Amino acid sequence: MKFFVDTADVAAIKELNDLGMVDGVTTNPSLILKSGRDILEVTKEICDLVKGPVSAEVVALDADTMIAEGRKLAEIATNITVKVPLTWDGLRACKVLTDEGKMVNVTLCFSANQALLAAKAGATFISPFVGRLDDINMDGMELIADIRQIYDNYGFDTQILAASIRTVNHATQCALVGADVMTAPPSVIKSMVSHPLTDKGIDQFMKDWAKTGQNIL
């Protein structure tokens, strides 16, 4: 499973990228706001840092303007993925942009039917929002599994990009049900290394090592 980082914080991306933990990046208008930077400037910096796909989201609601914004964003770098919402206008924009050879991430997916439509429109990625479904007492991970089954049934190439990943358990479950990619905040990815028994084991080893009176260097 590929790891995308869901942030526009360049320093946080660089930290994980240096460890080989970044296969791509996703951004959205809220993350651009949080960064406090110009969208074109910060997206270009991210694209220069990361080799994999970098999702930059359109903000128009009609297809024609989405297409124009998508073309503008795609000029930033060759690894730009244009992000469009899962509406009929978004799907129309997806079809046009993918026909032009651009990568497209269809976002704000909350049903298997929506994911099927996105695949039919040629989406490179579909982004089902796990955490937001959990918020309304629905099983977000069940949606990932349903999309996986449908895509496998019919041989769709669209990659399942599990979004709104909020916990390390979400990460594990995504890998188990077969998401192609998960996108998560840096804090979630960094938390995946933690386990209380690892900490306990290190503490015991250090205590025992101190008793030996030895040094390796």
Positions marked active-site: 83
Secondary structure (DSSP) of the chain: -EEEEE---HHHHHHHHTTT--SEEE--HHHHHHHTS-HHHHHHHHHHH-SS-EEEE---SSHHHHHHHHHHHHTS-TTEEEEEESSHHHHHHHHHHHHTT-EEEEEEE-SHHHHHHHHHTT-SEEEEBHHHHHHTT--HHHHHHHHHHHHHHHT---EEEEB---SHHHHHHHHHHT-SEEEE-HHHHHHTT--HHHHHHHHHHHHHHHHHT----
